[in-house]
Amino acid sequence: MPELSLSQTVDDLTAQGWKAEFTAIDGATLRCGECGDTISPTEVQIDSVNRFEGASDPDDEAAVFAMTCHCGCQGVYVVAYGPSMSSEDADVVAMLSRRHPSVPGG
């Protein structure tokens, strides 16, 4: 069975209930798209991590985190990684990596 693309993975997770989006705020916090709270990356439960590697372009590298907020909301956090990763996302992923050894960049 072929691997799902980034957009197919997000669509699949959304269909399974991961409807909110998490966003990095200042490199130290995430915002839950459902409850609106800003939380530490150490406060989320990481349910799965899907990594995508660009076949020929490092700018195509990305990761999709399926996470559960302290409010109970399930959502996704999509980040570019490698040379395209923002400094805010890099800081958040580093905090997630310390908790979960299979996180990209960890």
In a domain, 55, yes or no: yes
Would you state the pLDDT for residue 34?
A: 93
In terms of residue numbers, what domain contains 19? Answer: 6-97
In a domain, 1, yes or no: no
Give this prediction's pTM: 0.83
In a domain, 61, yes or no: yes
CA distances from 46 to 55, 56, 58, 60 (A): 26, 29, 25, 23
36-78: pLDDT as tens digits: 999 999 889 999 999 888 665 555 689 999 999 999 999 999 9
In a domain, 103, yes or no: no
In a domain, 67, yes or no: yes
Domain count, the chain: 1
